[in-house]
Amino acid sequence: MRALLFAAMIALPLLASSTSASAQQRGKKPLKIAVIAVEISGDGAPELRQVMQGYIKSGLRSTGARVIGLEQTLRHLKSKPELIGCTSSACLERIEEITSSKQFVRARITANGTNYELQLQLFDSKTEGGALRTIDESCDVCTVSELGELLAKSSKKLLLPEEAQLYSVRISTNPSGARITIDGANAGSSPLDTTLSLGLHSVSASLGGLRDAQSNIVVKSSSDLQPFALALSPIAIVQSAPDKGAVDYGLWKWGAALGSGGLLVLGGVLISRDGPIESMGQRTGEERDTFTVGIASVSGGLLLGAVAGWMFYRERKSPQTANSLSLKLSADGAMGAYQLQF
């Protein structure tokens, strides 16, 4: 019973703390942002402003923020026209009181045919002397839909912390068509256009018949497309060709040498035993005739020894290493063969 009470005393504060934290998290209000201006200049169509407002709201809301669109902001400021488009701290404090917004977004779009320049700025009433963050982008030969997607993406980026933002990169290989792996995950084939977070990434490329390429790339904070290139090197297959004049008698030379030694020993024994036969230290009157055979055995041993010596000499003087190398190089899927002579 005491153990149960002790466990309950420990668990209750932890449960209360967890419940309180969950309640605080549920009660945490999302950031409220007001769009205070969408300015169109150049030769953009009049309806462009209305269309772009929707993309801005969509991009801001994707971060979880509560967004007051431009039209709603203008309705709030209808009785205060002097506040419309004003970004000074004094103006923003008054807009904050009226709309209950903590931050404010202004967009500027300059159109030149199908080329667009856009600028997004984030403000709050507490910061003096300019915007909290400014994002400048360009879209060349773009449709209205492509411009809107860029605007929504930039609006989202405006609210995200620097380390959470994604930046456009292009990874190419020589030759192209290689399989690209980024941070251990398959990303597609080269040339590859993708987005990566800020900082260091490991990139590798592989293509049949070529040696894999690997590199560490550093993605920087930039609105421009950041290019990275990897080169795959050819694989060299080295094959050695033995010299045609090389001699190797193998076990034959050792057999000849051992046979020579055996015949010489046998011949010496036969020659030494030639003559009268003795028994118990006395001659029996009989004689052995082994001299001729002994001489023949010694002669055969000497001849076989000469053959063995010739074999050893020939092997020693003949080339023992290859005198050519064959190289097969693979590049761009094609094989090329080359031979080096020495």
Q: Quick check: 11 pLDDT over 60? A: no
pLDDT digits 0-9 by tens, 200-255: 899 999 999 899 999 999 988 777 899 999 999 887 655 555 555 667 777 888 88
Q: Average model confidence (pLDDT) for the chain? A: 80
Show the tokens assigned to 131.
Answer: 């915007």
Tell me the pLDDT tens digit for each residue of 93-151.
999 999 999 899 999 999 999 999 999 999 988 887 678 888 898 999 999 999 999 99
Average pLDDT over residues 10-24: 41
Section 170-186 average pLDDT: 94
Residue 178 neighbours by CB under 8 Å, 6+ apart: 189, 190, 205, 206, 207, 210, 213, 230, 232
Average pLDDT over residues 298-317: 86
The four Cα atoms 213, 217, 222, 224 give a dihedral, to 10 degrees, of -10
Please report which helix (H) or strand (E) contains residue 107, including its range. strand 103-112
Decide if 164 contacts 171 (C-beta within 8 A).
no
Query: Could you write out the DSSP letters of every residue in 42-74?
Result: ES--TTHHHHHHHHHHHHHHTTT-EEE-HHHHH
Strand partners, 185: 182
Residue type for position 209 = G
Asked if the model's pLDDT at residue 279 lies above 70, the reply is no
> What does the DSSP 8-state code read for residue 2?
H
Give me the mean pLDDT over the 42-51 stretch. 86
Whether 281 shows a pLDDT value over 70: the answer reads no
Residue 38 CB coordination number (10 Å): 21
Separation between Cα atoms, residue 269 and residue 263, nearest integer Å: 10
For residue 246, the tally of other CB atoms under 10 A from its CB is 13
What is the arithmetic mean of pLDDT over 66-83?
A: 90
pLDDT in tens, 148-175: 999 998 898 888 876 667 889 999 999 9
pLDDT at 283 over 70: no
pLDDT of residue 276: 76
Question: Which residue type is seen at 238?
Answer: V
- Residue 177 tokens read as 């068509």
Distance of CA 233 to the CA centre of its chain: 15
Domains along the sequence of the chain with CATH? 30-160 (3.40.50.10070), 166-231 (2.60.40.2070), 251-317 (no CATH)
